[in-house]
Amino acid sequence: MTKDEINQVLNAMDGFYVGYANVSTLKGIRTQQYVFNMTPENISGFLYTWKDRAGQILLTDMLDRLVLTMESGTIIQCKTRELEKQVYSLMRDIRSGKNVPARFPMVTRELFDAYIDMEESLVGEAEVEALAREEQQAALELGL
């Protein structure tokens, strides 16, 4: 991964409630998956941007639990009534021109997964190195 790609992922993950967005076309074919911080502002901006091009948008948290589902521009399910009200209100303000869709860092799920794989590999290497140092220290203490 390039340093720029790493920074993109870190920026997208900079938040309290990072999750996945799965976008399907009007014909039901999944087109892309994204990762971003699931604030009401970001969710409403994302939904507004895709409302005319997506048949379904499924937003989940990092454990794949439902956050929100939108089909053909209408919110079908939402994890809480409060979030649904916030998103509706923000989208209404965007439609009326009172606000603009939020601009926020977002990456593809593919890039996010590559970053996670890289991180897991680095952690594994660090653990192996730590164990090797411990074994060397134990051998030195035993005089081997």
Instruction: Record the pTM.
Output: 0.76
Per-residue pLDDT band for 2 (boundaries 50, 70, 90) equals confident
Average pLDDT of span 17-42? 87
Domain-wise residue ranges, the chain? 3-111
> Measured between alpha carbons, how far is 103 from 16 in angstroms, rounded to an integer?
17
Average pLDDT of span 110-134? 82
> For residue 15, is pLDDT > 80?
no
CB 33 within 8 A of CB 22: yes
Q: Could you read off the pLDDT of 45-54 as tens digits, one per residue?
A: 999 988 888 8
> For residue 28, is pLDDT > 70?
no
- CA distances to 38, 49, 89 from 95, in Å: 20, 11, 10
User: 94: which residues sit within 8 A by CB, 6+ positions away?
Assistant: 44, 45, 48, 100, 101
- Of 60, 77, 52, 48, give the one whose Cα is nearest residue 22: 60
Q: Could you read off the pLDDT of 62-104 as tens digits, one per residue?
A: 899 999 999 988 899 999 999 999 999 999 999 999 999 988 9
